[in-house]
Structures are given as structure tokens and as C-alpha cells.
Structure 1
């Protein structure tokens, strides 16, 4: 696969952060045949070695769960589908208010939105994780959010590629 084709296809795997795909390709970490495992391994290696500021940028590129971008219909297709799959597009007014409050408090505390791989979770599971994780330290939550970003990337790749070659 050519570099520009790889970046066009996989540049959004890490939310609005094509530099991850670019660096993985340029570093020779992407081998054919492409599999979800191999592409995830290569891209995650780049994400893990990115500077703290770059990883923070990736975290900040993620939308709030059930937030204003979702309401305005401005999520990426992947994020929209992921949030809808967890029922976040069908919240009651009270649930929406709770998510808004948690999003605000979390972002004020940590400086990035709450990130969780929502596939297979219910809105109640997500609220429970939200309420637990908001008590984390800055370092613990940065680490947890980065792990969740990698999990989201894996799920997105699994929807696009075979698991193994």
C-alpha cells in the first residue's frame, strides 16, 4: 500500500490525529498484509512514544460523550456510531444533564475529555466508569485515557481489517 493511501484509510483511527499513521508508515512499522493486529501494534507504538503534549493533543481531539458535537451532529462517523451503539444518542433530559455535568467537571480537572471505548457498554456502564474515574489522579487518568484511546483504535481497525494474516 502506498503511503498516501495508508494515511487516507487509517489517518483517523486515532481521532483527528493522522500523524500517528504517518509516523507508523514512515518508521516501517506497517507491513503487508495489513491486519488489525499489525496495524494497531505499529500505530500504538508511535502513540506511546509521542511526546506528552502530542498524546494530550490526541486526547483533546476526542469529543465529549453525549456532548455538544453529538447534539450538533458534528461527530466523526466513527464517534457517532460508537456513541449511538451505547445509547448515548437516546438519553433522557436528566441523563443528558448528568453527562454534561460530568463532562464539564472532568475536563476542568484533567484538561481533556472523558474517553472510554464504549463498544459493548451501556449508558449506565459509562456513567459508572465516569463517576469512578473522575476521582483518579492526573497521572492515573492520563494513563487510563491513553489506554482507552488505544482500545478505541483497535476496535476501529477490527471493523476494517482481518484480525490476523
Structure 2
């Protein structure tokens, strides 16, 4: 697989951060045949080696859960599918208000949106995680958010590799 094809397939695995796939390819961290473990391992290594500012940029590239981008229909297709799968596209007015308040408080406290791999979770599971994690310290929450980003990446890679 050439660089262009690799980046076009895996460049969006880390939300709006194709530099991760570019670096993984350039450093020879992924090889054929493309496997879930191989691609995920290579991309995560690059993510972990990225500067704090770069990793913060990846976190900030994620949309709020059930936030303004979702309402405006401006999510990436992956984010749209993930949020819809958890029922976040079908919130009551009261639930939406709760998500909006938590998003605002969380982002103000940590400087990036709340990130959780929503696959397999319900909106109630997500609210519980939101309410628990909002009490974390900054370092702990940065680490948790990075871990969740890697989990999301794994799910997205798996979906790419199992297409057709």
C-alpha cells in the first residue's frame, strides 16, 4: 500500500489528525498485510510519541457529544454513526440540556471536549461516565481522554479493515 492510499484510509482514525497516519507510514510502523493489531499499534505509538500540544490538538478535534456540530449535521461520518449508535441523536429536550451543561463545564475545566468510545454504551452510560469523570484532576482526565481516543481509533480501524 502506498502512502497516499494508507493516509486516505487511516488518516481520519484519529479525528481530523492525518499527521498520525502520515508519521506511522513514514516511520515504517505499519506493514502489509494490514491487521488490526498492526495498524492500531503503529498509529497509537505515533500518538503517544506526539508532543503534549499535538495530543491536546487531537483531543480538541473531537466534537462535543450531542453538541452543536451534531445539531448542525457537521460531524464526520464516523462521529455521526458512533453518536447515533448510542442514541445521542434522539435525546429529549431535558437530556440534551444536561449534555449541553456537562459539555460546557467539562470543556471549561479541561480545555478539550469529553471523549468516550460510545460503541456499546447507552446515553445513560455516557451520562454516568461524564458525571464521574468531570471530577477527575487534569492529568488523570488527559490520560483517560487519550486512552478513549485510542479505543475509538481501534474501533474505526476495525471497521475499515472489515469493510466488504
RMSD (Å) for aligned C-alpha atoms: 0.5
Alignment of structure 1 residues 38-117 onto 2, 5 Å: 38-117=38-117
Q: 1:147 deviation in Å? A: 0.1
Deviations 1:112-138 (A, max 9, x none): 000000000000000000000000000
The 3-state SS of whatever aligns with 1:159 is helix
TM-score (normalizing by structure 1)? 0.97
Q: 1:37 deviation in Å? A: 1.2
Which runs of 4 or more aligned residues in structure 1 lie more than 4 Å from their structure 2 counterparts after TM superposition?
A: none
Q: 1:17 deviation in Å? A: 0.1
**d(CA) in 2 for partners of 1:159, 1:112:** 26
Q: 1:161 deviation in Å? A: 1.2
**d(CA) in 2 for partners of 1:134, 1:84:** 23
Equivalent residue number for residue 130 of structure 2: 130
In structure 2, runs of 5+ residues without a counterpart are none
The 3-state SS of whatever aligns with 2:15 is coil
In structure 1, runs of 5+ residues without a counterpart are none
Equivalent residue number for residue 158 of structure 1: 158
**Partners of 2:11 and 2:18 within 8 A in 1:** yes
Q: 1:45 deviation in Å? A: 0.2
How many residue pairs match? The answer is 162
Equivalent residue number for residue 9 of structure 1: 9
Q: With CA pairs under 8 Å and 6+ residues apart, which has the higher RCO, 1 or 2?
A: 1
